[in-house]
Amino acid sequence: MENNNLSYYFPCTYLNNLPIEIGGYTINMIKTDILVIGAGPCGLFTAFEAGLLKMRCHFVDALPIPGGQCAEIYPKKPIYDIPGFPSILAGELVDNLMEQIAPFKPGFTLGERAESVEKQEDGSFILTTSRGTKLQAPVIAIAAGLGSFEPRKPPIENITDFEDKGVDYIIRDPQKYAGKKIVVAGGGDSALDWTIILADIAEEVTLVHRRTSFRGALDSVEKVMDLAKAGKINVITEAQCVGLNGNGKLNEVIIKQKQEGEFPKVVDNFIPLFGLSPKLGPIAEWGLNIHRSAIEVNTLDYSTNVPGIYAIGDINTYEGKLKLILCGFHESTLMVQSAFKHIYPDKKLSFKYTTVNGVNGFEE
Ligand SMILES: Cc1cc2nc3c(=O)[nH]c(=O)nc-3n(C[C@H](O)[C@H](O)[C@H](O)COP(=O)(O)OP(=O)(O)OC[C@H]3O[C@@H](n4cnc5c(N)ncnc54)[C@H](O)[C@@H]3O)c2cc1C
């Protein structure tokens, strides 16, 4: 099975790839102490608290970048209720968390959705992602927020035939489009920002939007219009992509423009960027107690009904729950204490302040 996982975008020094045999195939297994599903702010902070207790974390996230809602929905909005920061941009908070956890060298498997979990005889879990990556850990921390962000797809009848064969809903690696002819569809920040970035990478970029005005940030709209005026990109407004053609691989998008009607455009890739909507997805099938799309936990340690699986941040529910970042930080702090006892039932855990002990990161 092809495996394009993006683990290599971030330092993953604890990948400990152990080849295992499954169904006649040799698969590299990523092993860690705490497997964190979701690299949003609450998930990320887990790597710090776990690191203080000498436990390693590896993250799996369906998005191609860490940061969860802060990175995907509102990176440029200020947050005013992070203790010690009168105001901090959501994107900056993510950058700071990444810097704070760096000494503990967490691993990242990005752009892959956690699909299924199997309990092993030794009590550990093997998780399989949407791209077939296998990861093993004695503890799973689900920090999946509102769920996995699923792309909103345009209503083109045969679009699924061309998924991963020219149609991409998420840009994982912009260099993939070097020298390619691209049609981007959409009118929000994502469509505008990627059009600007791809203008320097792709051979030809065409932005298709169904209105004349765009919803994105004003300076991004201006940049796109300047690029169009300079002849570096094409912008087609009052238009929609209504058909796709190709033989096993996409090679033509049919565009319908209000005045000109339908016409074909030769392309290598079609990238519809109409936003992402969160769905609990496969986690709902893992035998966990779920209430209104959230995972029920014991507030003593944020454990679920399955020993060894915990849930923290927006994804969990309990009496008095508040979906706030600072609450998720508290939950991850208590959760790792319990995870330590689960992994090392015979070891004594002594509590120490960072002011006393400092932050002793991992050497490799
Ligand atoms: C516009 C807006 C403003 C906000 N303002 C504030 C504020 O001022 N203060 C505040 O405290 N909070 C605020 N929030 C809420 C805050 O963003 C959330 O509480 C916080 O992001 C929750 O963090 P998390 O780590 O639990 O989950 P998230 O940030 O939701 O991250 C979850 C991650 O899990 C991933 N994921 C889910 N399912 C899977 C799967 N099956 N496989 C792989 N990955 C998966 C997702 O892709 C996502 O990246 C705001 C939210 C929004 C939308």
Cβ 60 under 6 angstroms from ligand 1: yes
The SS3 of residue 345 is coil
Tell whether 286 is covered by a domain: yes
Measured on CA atoms in the order 333, 6, 281, 155, is the torsion positive or negative? Answer: positive
Beta bridge partners, 182, equal 205, 269
Binned at pLDDT 50, 70 and 90, residue 364 comes out as confident
Cβ 284 under 6 angstroms from ligand 1: no
163 in Cβ contact with 269 (< 8 Å): no
Number of domains in the chain: 2
pTM value surpassing 0.75: yes
Cβ 186 under 6 angstroms from ligand 1: no
Cβ 66 under 6 angstroms from ligand 1: no
Does residue 308 register a pLDDT over 60? yes
Distance CA 41, CA 48 (A): 11
Tell whether 363 is covered by a domain: no
Nearest residue by C-alpha to atom 33 in ligand 1: 38
Of the candidates 324, 290, 273, which has an alpha carbon nearest to the alpha carbon of residue 41? 324
323 and 297 in one domain? yes
Higher pLDDT pick, 158 / 280: 158
Average pLDDT for 344-350: 93
Nearest residue by C-alpha to atom 41 in ligand 1: 114
- Domain of residue 255: give its range: 153-272
Nearest residue by C-alpha to atom 13 in ligand 1: 324
Boundary-marking domain end, from 237, 272, 307: 272
Nearest residue by C-alpha to atom 14 in ligand 1: 324
Residues 25-56 have pLDDT tens digits of 555 689 999 999 999 999 999 999 999 999 99
> Which CATH number fits the domain that encloses residue 194?
3.50.50.60
139 and 25 in one domain? yes
Cβ 295 under 6 angstroms from ligand 1: no
Which ligand 1 atom minimizes the distance to the CA of 44? 25
Higher pLDDT pick, 142 / 14: 142
Residue 19's pLDDT is 52
Among 79-88, 242-251, 288-297, 347-356, the least confident range = 347-356
